[in-house]
């Protein structure tokens, strides 16, 4: 699970749905691609704990992200 503060990254994408900002992918400058999905609760100003086994993606950066309801 991921419960710490957000990790510094570049070329990630984020989308806000209701009161949660979802952050997908990106990379750090040592050329490591993030396979991580993180979520930030805007009201409580805290990072949410997510189960990495179901909330991960193949490493990616420079991608697109949209919300469809």
DSSP string, 1-69: -B-SPPPP-BS-EEEEETTEEEEE--B-TTSPBP-BEEEEETTTTEEPPB-TTTSB-SS--S-------
Q: Is residue 50 part of a domain?
A: yes
Q: Specify the pLDDT at position 37.
A: 80
Q: Is residue 6 part of a domain?
A: yes
Q: Are 45 and 28 in contact (CB under 8 A)?
A: no
Tokens found for residue 38:
């993180």
Please give the chain's pLDDT, 69 residues, in tens. Answer: 444 555 677 888 899 999 999 888 777 776 665 667 888 999 999 888 777 666 556 666 677 888 887
**Total structural domains within the chain:** 1
Task: Say whether pTM exceeds 0.75.
Answer: no
Instruction: List the domain range (segments joined by +) for residue 13.
Output: 1-60
Q: Specify the pLDDT at position 31.
A: 62
Q: Is residue 67 part of a domain?
A: no
Q: Specify the pLDDT at position 49.
A: 74
From CA 21, how far away is CA 28, in angstroms rounded? 20
């Amino acid at each position: 699970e991921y419960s710490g503060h957000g990790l510094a990254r570049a070329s990630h994408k984020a989308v806000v749905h209701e009161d949660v900002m979802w952050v997908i992918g990106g990379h750090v400058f040592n050329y490591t691609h993030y396979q991580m999905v993180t979520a930030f609760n805007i009201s409580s100003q805290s990072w949410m704990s997510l189960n990495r086994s179901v909330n991960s993606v193949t490493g990616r950066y420079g991608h697109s992200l949209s919300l469809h309801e």
